Amino acid sequence: MSIKILIVDDHPLQIEGYKSILQYNIDELEIETIVCYNCEEAYSIIVNTEASLHFDVVLLDRSLPPYPEKKIYSGEDLALLTQEYSPKSKIMMLTSHAEAFVIYDLIQKVRPEGLLIKSDFDGDELLVAFSALLNGTLYYSQTVKDSIKELLSRENYLDVINRQIIVLLAQGLKNKTIALQLNLSDSAIEKRKSKLKDFFFISKSTDEELVQEARKMGFI
């Protein structure tokens, strides 16, 4: 089975490193890569609607030489362009910025299937992330999770009540029972759960998946 990947990074040596690592993917897939070094080159590739140019995975550096003529200034803009022209492609973002607000804004804007911090992942983790994406699973590196956790802990949507809701869901309780215990209406519980799912970036998921994500992030 062949997998087609678009890699966009303005550092040729890093691109060669990614290509070499991905050849050792744990699924033993044949890897076909197309590379670009700036937003203009990537724009031309992404907007080409030929079926032969569909990419299974698009690996994007966040910071890239811009293409102002088309208002493409970063990897984030290329990710949104990819979602428009090739919605089935899995997007993996790479960034040198580990600041919580930068990571949070990137996830809110793009919602990539994968996100890694350049300074703290190695070849093994890149392969794990790559396999996760191909199997339909999100992959955020530990630094990303820690940064999100740090930011979320300061926000109102993880107030005492919302934390209690997560704990009670983890105990297997349903909305009606949770509402009685917290002296809230069923609709209030549902609204709070919806907000929690939004901010854990799993808006269309089940309560069980909400609990699983909360555990992954270390909240329960």
The pLDDT tens digits along the chain (220 residues) read: 789 999 999 999 999 999 999 999 877 889 999 999 999 999 999 998 665 568 999 999 999 999 999 999 999 999 999 999 999 999 999 998 887 767 877 888 899 999 999 988 899 999 999 999 999 999 999 888 888 777 766 555 677 888 889 989 999 999 999 999 999 999 999 999 988 887 777 877 899 999 988 887 766 7
Are the CB atoms for 85 and 45 separated by under 8 Å?
no
Are the CB atoms for 95 and 144 separated by under 8 Å?
no
Segment (H or E) for 138: none
* Separation between Cα atoms, residue 156 and residue 115, nearest integer Å: 25
Provide the b/e sequence for 130-140 (b: ≥16 CB within 10 Å): bebbbeeebbb
Query: How much is the pTM?
Result: 0.70
Instruction: State the pLDDT at residue 152.
Output: 67
Amino acid at 43: Y
Instruction: State the pLDDT at residue 126.
Output: 95
Q: What is the DSSP letter of 74?
A: S
Domains in the chain, start-ordered, CATH in brackets? Answer: 2-144 (3.40.50.2300), 155-216 (1.10.10)
Instruction: State the pLDDT at residue 54.
Output: 84
Sheet with 2-8, strands from edge to edge, namely 30-36, 2-8, 57-61, 90-95, 114-117, 139-140
* Separation between Cα atoms, residue 160 and residue 93, nearest integer Å: 33
* Separation between Cα atoms, residue 75 and residue 94, nearest integer Å: 9
* Separation between Cα atoms, residue 210 and residue 21, nearest integer Å: 33
Segment (H or E) for 2: strand 2-8
C-alpha distances (whole Å) from 57 to each of 26, 149, 208 are: 16, 27, 28
Q: Look at residues 143, 39, 128 and name the one whose alpha carbon lies nearest to residue 92.
A: 128
Instruction: State the pLDDT at residue 153.
Output: 62
Backbone angles phi, psi at 117, to 5 degrees: -90, 125
Are the CB atoms for 11 and 41 separated by under 8 Å?
no
